Amino acid sequence: MSESGDVFEIMRTTRAMRRLKPDPVPDALIRRILEAGICAPNGGNLQRWRFLVVKDTAIKKAVQAWYRRAYDEVIGPRYASSAPPPGVSAERYRRQHEAVEYLTDHFHEAPVWIVACLEEDGPPTRWSGASIYPAVQNMLLAARALGLGATLTTRHLLFEKEAEAALGLPPGVRSYAILPIGWPMGRFGPVGRGPLEEVVYQDRWGQPYAPAEG
Ligand SMILES: Cc1cc2nc3c(=O)[nH]c(=O)nc-3n(C[C@H](O)[C@H](O)[C@H](O)COP(=O)(O)O)c2cc1C
């Protein structure tokens, strides 16, 4: 197990790792990932997050059927007709599409899933998301630090009711992400992003960001 410590390096290299080996992952490592998750900020520290760890192949397969259908009906056609995002070459985008397709076929073969959920009364809001996605990101970073691959996925939400029924979620609990986790087949590498200058302004919208030197 490789464990690296520089948080900036970990952030720079926490990519969606979609090709995973089916080999088991020790429970102790999953526990460390979950512990990192619950360190995250959350509204009022109410900690309404709930995490379902799924290893049962039948459950994963039932959800994968909806994940696959969402690819066939929505995501696949979208990838086929869209241009590469900022900072991503056409070649890299093509490889991303291939990896997305790979994960679609092998979703259920990831040895462990963590399903990030919230117990909430009303409809989901930006505040709900803001109280669960920091935990999700902490878990992605923790997995990376432990040498494990993971991907933030939300595609099952295109068939939310069906996928959540397959997961056996009780009323009042909503899922926000499924993280398939396993030992990566490939290597970790830098994320591809556009330049900072194109997304940061200073004082007035559209005015270039001008940090002081030094
Ligand atoms: C809200 C959200 C939903 C996502 N859903 C999926 C998904 O369902 N399947 C998938 O393969 N990747 C999913 N991703 C991963 C993104 O595709 C990935 O972060 C993006 O392409 C950048 O790639 P990188 O993180 O490897 O640099 C999702 C990411 C976010 C933030």
pLDDT tens digits, residue range 73-109? 999 999 889 999 888 899 999 999 999 999 999 999 9
Domains defined for the chain, CATH in brackets: 7-198 (3.40.109.10)
- 158 alpha carbon – ligand 1 mean position (Å): 15
Residue 40, SS3 per DSSP:
coil
Q: Stretch 49-56: mean pLDDT, rounded?
A: 98
Reported pTM: 0.96
Q: Stretch 172-186: mean pLDDT, rounded?
A: 98
Ligand 1: nearest atom to the Cα of 17: 26
Ligand 1: nearest atom to the Cα of 104: 11
Q: How many CA atoms within 13 Å lie on the side-chain side of 141?
A: 20
Q: Spell out a b/e string for 63-72, using b for 16 or more CB atoms within 10 Å of the CB, else e.
A: bbebbbbbbe
Phi, psi (rounded to 5 degrees) for 49: -70, 145
Q: What is the pLDDT of residue 205?
A: 97
pLDDT tens digits, residue range 57-73? 999 999 999 999 999 99
